[in-house]
Structure 1
Amino acid sequence: MRKAALHNLGCKVNSYETEAMQQLLENAGYEIVPFTEGADVYIINTCSVTNIADRKSRQMLHRAKKMNPGAVVVAAGCYVQAAGEELKKDEAVDLVIGNNKKTDLVTILEDYFSQNQEAEEDTVIDIGHTAEYENLSISRIGDHTRAFIKVQDGCNQFCSYCIIPYTRGRVRSRKPEEVVEEIRRLAAIGYEEAVLTGIHLSSYGMDFPMEERISLLDLIIKVHEIPQIRRIRLGSLEPRIITEEFADTLAGLKKVCPHFHLSLQSGCDATLKRMNRKYTATEYLKGCELLRKAFKNPAITTDIIVGFPGETKEEFETTREYLKKLQFYEMHVFKYSVRNGTRAADMPDQIPESVKSERSSELLALEQEMSLSYRRSHLGTETEVLMEEEYEVDGTRYMIGHTREYIKAAVPFEKGIKGTMVTGTLWKMLTNDIVFLKH
Structure 2
Amino acid sequence: MATVAFHTLGCKVNQYETEAVWELFKNEGYTKVDFKEPADVYVINTCTVTNTGDKKSRQVIRRAIRQNPEAVMCVMGCYAQTKPKEIMDIEGVDIVIGTHGRESIPQLVKKYQEERQPISQIENVFKVDEFETLNVTQFSNRTRATLKIQEGCNNFCTYCIIPWARGQVRSQKPDIVLEQVKQLVANGYYEIVLTGIHTAAYGEDLEDYTFAKLLAEMDKIEGLKRIRISSIEASEVTDEVIEVMKKSNKIVNHLHIPIQSGSTSVLKRMRRHYTVPEFETKINELKAIF
Same fold, TM exceeding 0.5? Answer: yes
Alignment of 1:229-244 (within 5 A): 229-244=224-239
**Structure 1 CA distance, aligned partners of 2:186 and 2:54?**
38
The reply on whether 1:78 has 2:78 as its aligned counterpart is yes
**Structure 2 CA distance, aligned partners of 1:187 and 1:142?**
16
CA RMSD of aligned residues (A): 1.4
**1:12 match:** 12
Report SS of the residue matched to 1:106. helix
Shift of 1:40: 0.7
**2:112 match:** 112
For each residue in 1:185-244, what CA deviation from the matched residue of structure 2 results, as whole angstroms up to 9, or x when unmatched? 111122111110000011101112x3xx31111111111111111111001112111233
**2:277 match:** 282
Higher relative contact order (CA 8 A, sep 6+): 2
1:292 aligned residue (284, 287, 290): 287
Shift of 1:145: 1.3
Q: Which amino acid in the other structure matches residue 165 of structure 1?
A: P
Report SS of the residue matched to 2:176. helix
Report SS of the residue matched to 2:136. coil
Q: Which amino acid in the other structure matches residue 265 of structure 2?
A: A
Shift of 1:249: 2.5
**2:126 match:** 128
**Structure 2 CA distance, aligned partners of 1:116 and 1:53?**
29
Is 12-21 or 184-193 further displaced after alignment? 184-193
Q: Which amino acid in the other structure matches residue 194 of structure 2?
A: L
Q: Which amino acid in the other structure matches residue 211 of structure 2?
A: L
**Structure 2 CA distance, aligned partners of 1:290 and 1:193?**
26
2:211 aligned residue (211, 216, 219): 216
Contiguous gaps of at least 5 residues in structure 1: 296-439
TM-score (norm 2): 0.96
Q: Which amino acid in the other structure matches residue 199 of structure 2?
A: L
Alignment of 1:319-334 (within 5 A): none
CA contact (8 A) 1:100 1:133 kept: no
Q: Which has the higher strand share?
A: 1
Shift of 1:117: 5.0
Alignment of 1:64-75 (within 5 A): 64-75=64-75
Report SS of the residue matched to 2:24. helix
CA contact (8 A) 1:202 1:238 kept: yes
**1:25 match:** 25
TM-score (norm 1): 0.64
For each residue in 1:30-59, what CA deviation from the matched residue of structure 2 results, as whole angstroms up to 9, or x when unmatched? 111111232010000001110000000000
For each residue in 1:77-104, what CA deviation from the matched residue of structure 2 results, as whole angstroms up to 9, or x when unmatched? 1000111011122113111011112111
* Distance verdict in 2 for CA 1:157–1:32, change over 3 Å: same
Report SS of the residue matched to 1:249. helix
**1:34 match:** 34
1:196 aligned residue (194, 197, 201): 194
**1:426 match:** none
**Structure 2 CA distance, aligned partners of 1:116 and 1:35?**
23
